[in-house]
Structure 1
């Protein structure tokens, strides 16, 4: 059974290929992915690696967690599933709703004030 690991405090220069190379000595790497900023494309300093077996994952955690790599102390542990969270802080989806564009008459259209 494969195991996904979280790898934190990565140097910003590390690529997904570098991450795969780092974990390859522990066993087959099924996937590796450095998380990047959507806008800038720059690394966010963490990523995920999926190893083929629990034994390989345990060995990688034991050998790499708290190890210095390119001047930074790595954090390596088993990845936790992302918690379900509401789409905003109030717990409901704002959605788009129907558009009201074009319905309101322009200002000064001859309409009398409401008071």
Structure 2
């Protein structure tokens, strides 16, 4: 993610995928700036997959997005 992006910006972008968003986070460093990555939780796996297909490899504010599913741990 671009380093100036806030969680609201990420939510606005992913909202355009049409899925129901449950939560959005942007990882912040100790200085309060974005660390360049974040997470978006969707209501359904189908919503998440649609967003992944739509945004993976796309450009957002000058940076190419890499979108993938988080790894789940037991």
TM-score for the superposition, normalised by structure 1: 0.59
Question: How far off is 1:31 after superposition?
Answer: 0.3
* SS of alignment partner, residue 25 of structure 2: strand
What is the alpha-carbon distance in structure 2 between the residues aligned to residue 81 and residue 58 of structure 1? 16
2:21 aligned residue = 29
Name the structure with the higher helix share.
2
TM-score for the superposition, normalised by structure 2: 0.90
Question: How far off is 1:28 after superposition?
Answer: 1.2
Question: How far off is 1:25 after superposition?
Answer: 2.4
Structure whose CA Rg is larger:
1
Which stretches in structure 1 are left out of the alignment for 5+ residues? Answer: 1-9, 83-115
- Count of residue pairs brought into register by the alignment: 72
What is the alpha-carbon distance in structure 1 between the residues aligned to residue 48 and residue 13 of structure 2? 13
Which stretches in structure 2 are left out of the alignment for 5+ residues? Answer: none
* SS of alignment partner, residue 12 of structure 1: coil
